[in-house]
Amino acid sequence: MLHDLTIWLLVAAFAGAGLFNAIGTSATQSSFARWGYSRWWTHITGALEMLVAALIATPATRNVGLILGGIIIAAAVLTVLRHREPSHLAPLGVFAVLLALQLVA
């Protein structure tokens, strides 16, 4: 039960974050620029996050999705730590906990 719940929470979280980043509001693009990324990188990040959601939702590709999702979250954590913006750590922590729950399930 917990395994299924965390799978679908991860799918929803990555799909939602992906959609948000793919839209690339001016505030999101400004954050990416402040962190040293090109403004258009929001679209690439969003596409990757939506890909992760699809991979996790599909049992045959779930492990690939979990690995790619972990890499994306690790990169995001390192970025916000490097730029001393701890306010971004709470949502990233939710992703990390859900990914960790899948590892122990």
Whether 21 contacts 46, CB under 8 Å: yes
- What is the pTM (predicted TM-score) of this model? 0.91
User: Are 13 and 95 a contacting pair, CB within 8 Å?
Assistant: yes
Give me the pLDDT at residue 103, please.
80
* 61-to-27, 87, 88 alpha-carbon distances in Å: 33, 32, 28
CA distances from 18 to 2, 46, 50, 69, 100 (A): 24, 4, 5, 11, 20
Q: At 37, list the tokens.
A: 């990324």
pLDDT digits (tens, 9 = 90+) for 16-74: 999 999 999 999 999 999 999 999 999 999 999 999 999 999 999 999 999 999 999 99
Beta carbons within 8 Å of 58's beta carbon, 6+ residues apart: 65
3-15, pLDDT tens digit by residue?
A: 789 999 999 999 9
